[in-house]
């Protein structure tokens, strides 16, 4: 199923953890992971304190921890969720939202990396094919947010880029069509205007004008595009994608509107955020960690360790529950806030010397 080159690249992807530390030590991630699993409802197969797509990210955070740490105690969660929810909505973790479907595609790609079970990869492929079915030439290209085709937004397109490029890596010679599609959507995305003059990604396009709607620069929109560009670089061997990702990451890690006193803060935190917002920061740091891992100088290690240490010191209960505000106080603990903490703590862990990189990562 894979070419030899794709298999070597996948081995490099799975073998290491997300980040390398430079002096400072990141807090342990295991206690937060154990708490995340305690929040899981085995009967329903999801995290009942948060939403459907948030649970996909909790699965992904848990799986990334297992890949990084070698601690596979919770692999049963993947099988249980897959069995309990495979027939929900349209089946195969597809619903009317292309972004929801993309989150599950990424979760099952990670599950495949951990287990080697092809059912997960096949499901992710079905998800990505569904997403592509909602692409057309309105506003010059790109995917619609829902099957109702009323809004072209950033997150659906970022997720498609990432998931399609990740499939291309794992499918080897059979993945060429996914690499082509990922590249097509990235070219459209970069030209769409959704990346603003501050090199931050706004929420989407105005339906009437096909121009940047200047809506909120949510942290997850700054993150998923980084993961997409890393995947494109890995699939294509073209390190220009990494250079572009680094430029975007430099902007988002330094953006005043996304930080309060140096701590990553979601724009909605002052008002409490709805069910969606608590997942966003974890998604951002997960993808920043992916980029940091493949760059030779690991430029974001200190940033991630600082964020993780702040959350550990100020946003953690005695039961290792984490809330919405990484700077504290602990508030609104649920499956999504815990997932974000797990993503952060995993991203901040040091990694061993990596195998030979599939692409050059020099600036």
What is the per-residue pLDDT for 14?
41
Residues 304-329 have a mean pLDDT of 98
Q: In this predicted model, what pLDDT tens digit does every residue of 174-187 receive, in sequence order? A: 999 999 999 999 99
- Radius of gyration of the chain, Cα coordinates, nearest whole angstrom: 19
Read off the pLDDT band of 23 (50, 70, 90).
Answer: low
Read off the pLDDT band of 24 (50, 70, 90).
Answer: confident
Share of the chain above pLDDT 90, in %: 89
Residues 36-41 have a mean pLDDT of 98
CA distance 314 to 118: 41
Residues 11-24 have a mean pLDDT of 43
Q: Report the mean per-residue pLDDT for the chain.
A: 92
Give the residue among 237, 311, 239, 229 at the shortest CA–CA distance from 278: 311
What CA–CA distances, in Å, run from 328 to 182, 212, 263, 271? Answer: 38, 33, 10, 15
Q: In this predicted model, what pLDDT tens digit does every residue of 109-156 receive, in sequence order? A: 999 999 999 999 999 999 999 999 999 999 999 999 999 999 999 999
What CA–CA distances, in Å, run from 286 to 143, 289, 350? Answer: 23, 5, 14
Cβ-based burial of 329 (10 A; exposed 0-12, middle 13-18, buried ≥19): exposed
Residues 227-231 have a mean pLDDT of 98
- What's the token pair of residue 232? 């494109």
Check pLDDT > 60 for residue 10: no
């Amino acid at each position: 199923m894979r070419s030899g080159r794709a298999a070597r690249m996948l081995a490099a992807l799975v073998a290491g953890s997300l980040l390398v530390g430079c002096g400072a030590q990141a807090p342990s991630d295991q206690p937060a992971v154990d708490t995340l699993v305690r929040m899981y409802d085995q009967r329903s197969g999801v995290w009942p304190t948060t939403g459907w797509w948030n649970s996909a990210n909790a699965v992904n955070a848990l799986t990334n921890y297992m890949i990084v740490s070698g601690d596979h105690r919770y692999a049963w969660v993947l099988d249980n969720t897959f069995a309990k929810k495979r027939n929900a909505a349209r089946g195969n973790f597809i619903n009317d939202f292309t972004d929801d479907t993309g989150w599950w595609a990424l979760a099952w790609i990670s599950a495949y990396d951990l287990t080697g079970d092809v059912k997960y990869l096949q499901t992710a492929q079905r998800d990505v094919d569904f997403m592509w079915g909602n692409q057309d030439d309105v506003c010059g290209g790109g995917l619609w947010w829902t099957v109702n085709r009323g809004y072209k937004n950033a997150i659906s397109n970022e997720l498609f880029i990432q998931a399609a490029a990740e499939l291309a890596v794992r499918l080897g010679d059979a993945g060429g069509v996914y690499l082509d599609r990922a590249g097509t959507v990235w070219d459209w995305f970069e030209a769409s205007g959704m990346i603003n003059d501050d090199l931050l990604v706004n929420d989407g396009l105005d339906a009437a004008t096909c121009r940047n709607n200047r809506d909120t620069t949510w942290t997850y929109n700054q993150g998923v595009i980084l993961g997409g560009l890393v995947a494109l670089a890995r699939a294509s061997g073209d390190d220009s994608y990494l250079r572009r990702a680094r430029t975007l990451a430099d902007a988002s890690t330094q953006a005043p509107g996304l930080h309060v006193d140096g701590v990553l803060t979601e724009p909605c935190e002052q008002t409490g955020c709805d069910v969606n917002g608590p997942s966003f920061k974890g998604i951002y740091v997960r993808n920043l960690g992916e980029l940091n891992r493949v760059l030779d100088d690991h430029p974001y290690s200190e940033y991630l360790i600082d964020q993780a240490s702040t959350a550990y010191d100020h946003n953690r209960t005695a039961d290792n529950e984490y809330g919405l505000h990484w700077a504290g106080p602990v508030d609104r603990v649920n499956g999504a806030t815990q997932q974000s903490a797990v993503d952060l703590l995993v991203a901040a862990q040091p990694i061993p010397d990596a195998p030979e990189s599939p692409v050059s990562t020099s600036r």
